Amino acid sequence: MFSLFKKKNGDSGNLNNKSHTDLLGSTLSDTVQKIKNDTGNSSDIVIRELELGEPMLSVAIAYVEGIVNDTSIHDFIVDSILDSDVKTERAPEEFLKTLTSEVVAMGPIQKSKQWEQLYTALMDGNTILLIDGIDEVIMIDTQGGEQRSIEEPESQVSVRGPRDGFTESLRTNTSLVRKRIRNPNLWTESMKIGKQSKTNVEIMYLNGVVKEDIVAEVRSRLQRIEIDAILESGYIEQLIEDQVWTTFPTLYHTERPDSVAGNILEGRVAIFVDGTPFVLLAPAVFIQFFQSVEDYYARFDMATALRFLRLITFFFINYCAIHLYCGDYLSSRDDSNGIGNYYRCTARNSSIPSICGSSHDGNYI
């Protein structure tokens, strides 16, 4: 995985990476031109220049079309700026405070002087407010865009239980869990992983129930990931799992909010990745993979019995049934009459001869 995505020479491949750590300038025209140059004059990067207050002050807003809420931008930012008569002849700190509290009255709102933070917020779906003569920008949360509606998951269908499933929206997924666990101790921690993709990743756990060592270990493993892009939670699963050369998964994944809520209440940590409906759960135990999504809604004795039955069936099918069939088949090779003929006829049209008959002479009749 590392060899496919990690650069072997130099940094992340961004030609303007050094300039992104510089401070912003105070000239609006220069700032706007730099944004256009750094984004390659991309057609989906919208920059609109406006006039604000008395006397008129030049400002500009910048956002990425398609990942923002257009209604919020026009109703609460553009219209507010055009209709505002705020006094612009003030100290920069006082003017910014008035601007964020009276003119752009929506949030959350953050301020920054760093180019890197500006571009990160821009690509996250925030609207950037640039002001002429001030070397600081206002970043307004206007995330939106087209999203898939909440539907029943196809991979884990249940007869009894809720019908909603996760989507590709990180915030939608976390809200589905919070609707089930209305507890202030349900904590989340966010981070960005991927030098190029800067994918939003969040961990969720129930403080006071989960062991602190587990949270610290999950956090540490995620922070140690060095990769160019995270496009799905499967990347995370491969990079933080304990054992690589094993046929048994060491992390559990699901697209059902009720399953995630139940595991969080049991003391596990959920890992959400933006852009995928599959949520990872850590740590995972062997018996967990024999649990049905309906076990939470059945009587505890019936759910335990069914899970135990699944476990017994698994071992019987994988370790007993094939050996019993092979033993009966091989013992019937010397029986020219009776039941041996039945096994030989059955073996002609099955895959068992290729499995257990090759240890003889390769002749299956």
Q: Write down the pLDDT at residue 45.
A: 95
- Using DSSP's 3-state secondary structure scheme, residue 47 falls into strand
Interacting residues of 150 by C-beta distance below 8 A, sequence separation 6+: 164, 165, 167, 172, 176
Burial class (CB in 10 A: 0-12, 13-18, 19+), 236: buried
> Rounded to an integer, what distance in angstroms lies between the CA atom of residue 270 and that of residue 292?
18
CB 50 within 8 A of CB 61: yes
The 10 Å Cβ neighbour count of residue 174 is 21
Q: Write down the pLDDT at residue 11.
A: 47
- Name the β-bridge partners of 137: 112
- Using DSSP's 3-state secondary structure scheme, residue 203 falls into strand
- DSSP codes of every residue in 62-82: EEETTSB-HHHHIIIIIHHHH
Per-residue pLDDT of the chain (365 residues; tens, 9 = 90+): 434 334 444 444 444 444 555 778 878 999 999 999 999 999 999 999 999 988 889 999 999 999 999 999 999 899 999 888 888 888 888 888 888 888 887 778 999 999 999 999 999 999 999 999 999 999 999 998 888 889 988 887 777 888 899 999 999 999 999 999 999 999 999 999 999 999 999 999 999 999 999 999 999 999 999 999 999 999 999 999 887 777 778 899 999 999 999 999 999 999 999 999 999 999 988 777 777 777 777 777 777 787 788 778 777 776 666 666 565 555 555 554 554 454 444 444 444 444 444 444 444 33
> Rounded to an integer, what distance in angstroms lies between the CA atom of residue 121 and that of residue 106?
16
Length of the chain: 365
> Rounded to an integer, what distance in angstroms lies between the CA atom of residue 49 and that of residue 58?
7
Q: Write down the pLDDT at residue 358.
A: 42
CB 136 within 8 A of CB 31: no
- Name the β-bridge partners of 85: none
Cα torsion for 254, 260, 264, 265, to the nearest 10°?
-130
In 252-336, DSSP assigns E strands to: 252-254, 269-273, 279-282
Q: Write down the pLDDT at residue 21.
A: 53
CB 222 within 8 A of CB 270: no
CB 221 within 8 A of CB 190: no
What's the Cα-to-Cα distance from 76 to each of 46, 58, 161, 281, rounded to whole Å? 17, 18, 40, 39
User: Domain extents for the chain?
Assistant: 15-141, 170-242+251-281, 298-357
- Name the β-bridge partners of 47: 62
- Biggest CA–CA distance in the chain, Å, is 107
- What angle, rounded to 10 degrees, do the helices at 257-265 and 170-178 form? 60
Q: What does the block give as tokens for 44?
A: 């989906």
Q: Write down the pLDDT at residue 316.
A: 73
> Rounded to an integer, what distance in angstroms lies between the CA atom of residue 270 and that of residue 281?
5
- At 351, phi and psi to the nearest 5? -90, 0
- At 231, phi and psi to the nearest 5? -100, -15
CB 277 within 8 A of CB 253: no
Q: What does the block give as tokens for 331?
A: 């013992």
SS3 per-residue string spanning 155-195: CCCCCCCCCCCCCCCHHHHHHHHHCCCCCCCEEEEEEEECC
- Using DSSP's 3-state secondary structure scheme, residue 24 falls into coil
